[in-house]
Amino acid sequence: MKIWRIPDQVIRLAVVLVAAVAVLVVVRGRFVPASFGETGHYRADAVDVVAAQPIRYAGSQICVECHDGEGEAKSGSFHRTVSCEVCHGPAAAHAEDFESQTPLIPRERGAECLSCHEYLSPRPTGFPQIIERLHNPLQPCIGCHDPHDPTPPEVPESCSACHAQIARTKAVSHHLTLECETCHDAQAEHREEPRSFLPRKPTAREFCGSCHSESADSPADIPRVDLRDHGERYLCWQCHYPHHPES
């Protein structure tokens, strides 16, 4: 009569299975957070939690709304890319409540200026650097330089004020006694507007030859070459670095 009968073992398995699925559903419901999976395999609400973090740096756009004079001075100066909070520290609290919250106002000679302007060889060539021990010791930086418009109060006397890396290299080379102007024709304006008035560089082998060729009228201990057959395909500085020529 019985055409087909569900075997006992299948029924038992099914019971276990249904119980397992029920447990799984309950556990998932309890442990998986509400917004999990809404936008991906994560809790969607977590994005709002991260986005709600408090802001500490206000951004210089807010600063210049009140401090327009400083903003104006800075906008055309060498410090135009330096935002206010680089030196004055995080100022969102001050922007909220300027009466009770004062930002940093660095006046001493020290870290705020030197962290950028103390000489370090990896700093890009042309970036203004000083050697703190030698540069007007004991004077506060702001005594001579207006930090919002730090054009040097007097045009720098030495090229090394900006070209510290080259100066250091040259100082340990055979060219140490040469003035920069021996090879570079720098107009006076270069010291005030360095990028608008670029100094000239030598263009011909004969320039170096005026000291280093066999016929040159120069001290006897200077190395000589015959310009006609010494590396004639190249300009001198394509092989020798003039600020540190090999002996």
Partner 1 sequence: MAGQNDERKFPRREFLVRTLQLPCSAAVVTVLGPLALGSDAAAASQSGSETSEHYFGMGIQVDKCIGCGKCVEACKAENDVPREPYYFRTWVERYVIHNDGDVSVDSPEGGIRGFPLHEGESDVLRSFFVPKLCNQCDNPPCVQVCPVGATFKTDDGVVLVDSDYCIGCRYCIQACPYGARYLDPRTNTADKCTFCYHRITQGLLPACVEVCPTGARIFGELNALASPLRRLMRMSSLQVLKPALNTEPKVFYSKLDGEVR
Positions in the binding site for partner 1 (CB under 8 A): 9-10, 13, 17, 20-21, 24-25, 28, 33, 36-43, 46-47, 49-57, 59-60, 79, 81-83, 85-86, 89-90, 111, 114-116, 118-124, 127, 168, 172
In the complex, the smallest distance separating the C-beta of residue 101 from partner 1, rounded to whole angstroms, is 14
In the complex, the smallest distance separating the C-beta of residue 28 from partner 1, rounded to whole angstroms, is 8
In the complex, the smallest distance separating the C-beta of residue 138 from partner 1, rounded to whole angstroms, is 21
In the complex, the smallest distance separating the C-beta of residue 157 from partner 1, rounded to whole angstroms, is 23
Q: Which is nearer to partner 1, 24 or 198 (CB)?
A: 24
How far is it, in rounded angstroms, from Cα 89 to Cα 79? 16
Contacts for 242 with CB less than 8 Å, ≥ 6 apart:
175, 183, 208, 236
Q: Please state, in angstroms and as integers, the Cα–Cα distance from residue 211 to each residue in 23, 35, 170, 220, 226, following that order.
A: 93, 79, 17, 10, 12
Q: Which is nearer to partner 1, 13 or 222 (CB)?
A: 13
Q: Which is nearer to partner 1, 81 or 203 (CB)?
A: 81
In the complex, the smallest distance separating the C-beta of residue 116 from partner 1, rounded to whole angstroms, is 5
Residue 244 · residue 170 · CB < 8 Å: yes
Q: Which is nearer to partner 1, 56 or 200 (CB)?
A: 56
How far is it, in rounded angstroms, from Cα 150 to Cα 161? 13
The pair of three-digit structure tokens given for residue 232, joined into one six-digit string: 């004639």
Q: Which is nearer to partner 1, 162 or 227 (CB)?
A: 162
Q: Please state, in angstroms and as integers, the Cα–Cα distance from residue 127 to each residue in 78, 97, 161, 243, 246, following that order.
A: 11, 37, 9, 17, 26
The pair of three-digit structure tokens given for residue 184, joined into one six-digit string: 């570079």
Residue 180 · residue 242 · CB < 8 Å: no
Q: Which is nearer to partner 1, 114 or 235 (CB)?
A: 114
In the complex, the smallest distance separating the C-beta of residue 16 from partner 1, rounded to whole angstroms, is 8
The pair of three-digit structure tokens given for residue 12, joined into one six-digit string: 């038992």
